[in-house]
Structure 1
Amino acid sequence: MPTPEKTSVEAIVLAARDLLELDGLAGLTMNAVAQRVGVRPPSLYKRVGGRDDLIRLVAEATLTDLARRLDATADPVELAAAVRTFGGERPAAFQLVMTPGAGVPVARPEYGEAASRAILDLAARLAGPDHALEAARTLTAWVVGFVSMELSGGFTLGGSVDDAWLFGVTNLLDVLSTTDREE
């Protein structure tokens, strides 16, 4: 009779996501994950190919979560706010998928495409189908840049960061919605 499995890929990824937030990417080790799920490190390799595979799985789970949140919003301001909220709740995961850095394993393309779908749909509504990709990239770059600066404490000149957010997102959305759709 075979021995029952003591963990699953889902449990391993959940543990890895928690460790990522607690200890950053450097603390996301196979040993730490094994300890967290209650198995010996060699047991993880039955489910996960290694640390790079684990990081890729975490990135994919992160993008799946983000896609779910974005797909649940219809309002452009709410969609941008959902990305900001996600970044505040899971800053290390946000950085992993938005600004991974050289050599860091990334999610397979279909996960990024799924997370981008709501933004592309919004961009098409605002700027028209001919400019959807450009508008989506512009909006994403602004939101990711703002959230990254917020997470790193980059806003040091005083004033309300929330007011700056609202000013930026509403004005950017206005500009994107006035893009000439007739080109």
Structure 2
Amino acid sequence: MPTPDRTSLAEIVTAARDILESEGLPRLTMQAVAERVGVRAPSLYKRVRNRDALIRLVTEATVRDLGERLEAVAGSGDPGTDLGELARVFRAFAHAHPAGYHLIFANGPAETRPSLDSLTRASAPALRVAADLAGPEHALEAARMFTAWANGFVSMELAGAFNLGGDLDEAFEFGIIRLTAAFTTPEPPRAG
């Protein structure tokens, strides 16, 4: 069996992500990953402190992967087009990596959650587009609204919770159009 020196952290994380997607979070164990990368489980602990640390590494890698995909599509020069592309990439990523996607938004133990730094980097494309659409003073609020809508839609879709029929692709596009319009409409005066 290979020694831990012959197994990189990247290989461990890749194996863990594969197990997560194919077998689910309960099956993502140190033993399962060790077997997948060809080392004994005790050797794996020389690279990864424990299961929580492993889950965090997987979550961080998933956030980084999503952020890189989002970064690749933002920048057409038309913020409305960019918002649509960000939403579509976000949705496609969730469908391709549903278990990893779930970890990004899960309220698990602090030791398993992604760092603020990784979330900030992954959020940068949405914040830029939100600033372009809603103005810099409302960028954070608009990005949060976009993320909440996209995550809610995708989470319901992945859970099979849309039970009233209709075309989900059309509904998703409708949401993009409405969000874009909402972000570019001037703010109504506040009461008071």
Q: TM-score range by the shorter chain?
A: over 0.9
TM (norm. structure 1) is: 0.93
Alpha carbons of structure 1 residues 102 and 6: separation in structure 2 relative to 1, 3 Å: closer
Indicate whether 1:38 and 2:41 are aligned. Answer: no
* Matching residue of 1:70: 70
Aligned-pair identity in percent equals 53
Cα-Cα RMSD = 1.9
Amino acid at match of 1:57: L
Question: Which runs of structure 2 are paired with 1:136-175 in the superposition (5 Å)?
Answer: 136-175=143-182
What letter matches 1:14 in structure 2? T
User: Counterparts of 1:72 and 1:32 in 2: how far apart (Å)?
Assistant: 33
Equivalent pair of 1:80/1:143 in contact (CA under 8 Å)? yes
CA contact (8 A) 1:127 1:180 kept: no
Distance 1:150 1:158 in 2: 12
**CA–CA distance in structure 2, aligned partners of residues 103 and 130 of structure 1:** 30
Q: Is the 8 A contact 2:53 2:111 kept in 1?
A: no
Q: Provide the C-alpha distance between the structure 2 equivalents of 1:31 and 1:154, rounded to a whole number of angstroms.
A: 34
AA aligned opposite 1:44: L
Q: 1:102 deviation in Å?
A: 5.5
Give the TM-score taking structure 2 as reference length.
0.89
Q: Note the 1:117-128 alignment, pairs <5 A.
A: 117-128=124-135
Aligned pair count reads 181
Structure 2 runs not aligned, ≥5 long: 75-81
Deviations 1:10-42 (A, max 9, x none): 000000001111121111100000011111001
Structure-1 residue corresponding to 2:103: 96
Question: 1:119 and 1:131 mapped to 2: Cα distance?
Answer: 12
The residue type paired with residue 78 of structure 1 is E
Q: Which residue of 1 aligns with 2:79?
A: none
